[in-house]
Amino acid sequence: MRLDYLTIFPDYLAPLRLSLPGKAIDSGLLELHVHDLRAWTHDRHHTTDDTPYGGGAGMVMKPEPFGEAFEALGVGAGDTVVFTTPSGQPFDQRVAEDLATRERLVFACGRYEGIDQRVIDHARTIAEVREISLGDYVLNGGEVAALAITEAVVRLLPGFMGNAASLVEESHAEGGLLEYPVYTKPRTWQDREVPDVLLSGDHGRIARWRHEQAVRRTAERRPDLLHPSALDDGTPIVRAVRGDAEELLTLQRACWVQEAIANEMLDIPALHETLDEVRADLDRWETYVVRRAGRLVGSVRGRLDGDVWEIGRLAVAPDLQGQGLGRVLLGHVEAVAPSGAASYRLVTGARNERNLGLYKKAGYRLRRDLAAPSGAVTLTKRL
Ligand code: SAM
């Protein structure tokens, strides 16, 4: 694989020659070229940035040095130009696996407010373009992102790692689980013991223990990986963010007005909540939402109360009810219950036959012995 980097800070990429990548370069598995973008400037100050058209803060990277660099480096069909940008596709192991199949990656590292858009548009006409983000935060420049992407990609190249098996078992591998905890010598350290099972020599037991640990860790830390739930058409159910609050409030009002009319209950708390309360609840509950054609059409939330996973606000846009969306959302919130949960609990309108039917079908039992707001009933189900 050949890797090229266009940057105004070539020294940032010096670590690429350390450790394993260094060895891979020596062995001919990797060809690596770091280019100082200023080599393609023609003024005395080697200027690579200028003020933004339309005004605003900061500077923008000029298009000409990138254009000349692409030409001088012969970037063309079959090559992939990677623009590192916070507005790109989030980088993950699947993207790394995909990039590892390419013959040549050319990283264009941004600085300042980013790169003139025409560079990206132009690159698209001569090569494959990928705009990739390291995560939802802003770095000073694209070099650190290029380094991280490189490291994740090149370790997947056949022959790069001494032990290819370690690729199969680690976090984010094909199985989608986080890795189990690992231990080495000494057997006792600071009064802490290595788990007995790992000393048993029983490979079957060890494999089972590791799998259990991986599942538990994933459920606790990244339930979204364990249950990447989606509707039948592949629409994902995702964790709600603060920016969803307005739409959540709208959905909630639409659903609970309907519920209130059907049950002659006008004191349903969800009907009277303010936007600020909905926002605050997003911090207190794990809320999940689903969108259709960009519109937020379903929600549900859960939170742990002792060993009870309390489920609430199961809502489906009135025009999409009766299509099974509620059942899928309920299944999702049940699936993401943390490992400490022993049962599920929810509350619904005592006269809401449709909801009661849904919950009973899903295995919930009516619990008249448990408190519920007036006009409502509590239902529970054991995990
Ligand atoms: N104004 C830009 C914006 O809001 O999207 C941010 C520019 S940032 C200060 C400068 C450069 O750092 C970007 O052009 C990009 O190359 C790189 N960068 C910053 N955050 C990044 C991230 N999360 N992932 C990948 N690259 C990033």
Please state, in angstroms and rounded to a whole number, the distance separating the CA atoms of residues 228 and 374: 36
Residue 223 pLDDT: 67
Q: Whose CA is nearest to atom 1 of ligand 1?
A: 113
Backbone phi and psi for residue 9, each to the nearest 5 degrees, phi listed first? -125, 70
Q: What's the token pair of residue 362?
A: 């899903």
pLDDT for 138: 96
Verify whether ligand 1 is closer than 6 Å to residue 114 (CB atom): yes
Convert the chain into a string of H (helix), E (strand) and C (coil): CEEEEEECCHHHHHHHHCHHHHHHHHCCCCEEEEEEHHHHCCCCCCCCEECCCCCCCCCEECHHHHHHHHHHCCCCCCCEEEEEEEEEEECCHHHHHHHCCCCEEEEECCCCCCECHHHHHHHHHHCEEEEEECCCCCCCCCHHHHHHHHHHHHCCCCCCCCCCHHHHHCCCCCCCCCCCCCCCCCCEECCEECCHHHHCCCHHHHHHHHHHHHHHHHHHHCHHHHCCCECCCCCEEEECCHHHHHHHHHHHHHHHHHHHHHHCCCCCHHHHCCHHHHHHHHHHCEEEEEEECCEEEEEEEEEEECCEEEEEEEEECHHHCCCCHHHHHHHHHHHCCCCCCCEEEEEEECCCHHHHHHHHHCCCEECCCCCCCCCEEEEEEEC
Query: What atom in ligand 1 is closest to the CA of residue 112?
Result: 10
Pocket lining: 84 vs ligand 1, CB cutoff 6 Å: yes
Answer whether 319's CB lies under 8 Å from 266's CB.
no
Whether 40 contacts 68, CB under 8 Å: yes
How many angstroms separate the alpha carbon of residue 87 from the centre of ligand 1? Answer: 8
Q: 119, 6 in Cβ contact below 8 A?
A: no
Distance 364 CA to ligand 1 centre (A): 48
Pocket-testing residue among 84, 95, 112, 130, ligand 1, by greatest number of atoms within 8 A of Cβ: 84
Rounded-to-integer distance, Cα 291 and Cα 286, Å: 17
For residue 111 the two structure tokens come to 């600085």
Instruction: Report whether 138 contacts 86 (CB < 8 A).
Output: yes
State in Å: Cα 153 to ligand 1 middle: 20
Q: How far is the CA of 230 from the centre of ligand 1 (A)?
A: 30
Q: Answer whether 139 contacts ligand 1 (Cβ < 6 A).
A: yes
Distance from the alpha carbon of residue 134 to the mean position of ligand 1, in angstroms: 9
- Asked whether 60 lines ligand 1 (CB < 6 A), one says no
CA of 113 to the centre of ligand 1 (A): 7
Average pLDDT per run of 10 along the chain, which is 383 residues long?
97 86 84 97 97 95 98 97 95 92 97 96 97 96 96 89 64 73 95 95 89 79 64 76 93 84 71 90 94 90 95 91 85 86 91 86 92 89 88
pTM: 0.64
> How far is the centre of ligand 1, averaged over its atoms, from the C-alpha of 82 (Å)?
13
pLDDT of residue 228: 47
Ligand 1 atom nearest 137 alpha carbon: 23
CA angle, corner 34, sides to 138 and 67, nearest 5?
A: 80
Tell me, using a 6 A CB cutoff, whether residue 145 lines ligand 1: yes
Residue pair 360/367 in contact by the 8 Å Cβ criterion: no
Question: Ligand 1 in contact with 138 (CB < 6 A)?
Answer: yes
7 C-alpha vs ligand 1 centroid, how far in Å?
13
Q: Which domains does the chain have, with CATH numbers?
A: 2-164 (3.40.1280.10), 168-225 (1.10.1270.20), 237-382 (3.40.630.30)
Residues 6+ apart with CB under 8 A from 373: 267, 269, 347
Point out the ligand 1 atom lying closest to the alpha carbon of residue 133.
Answer: 24
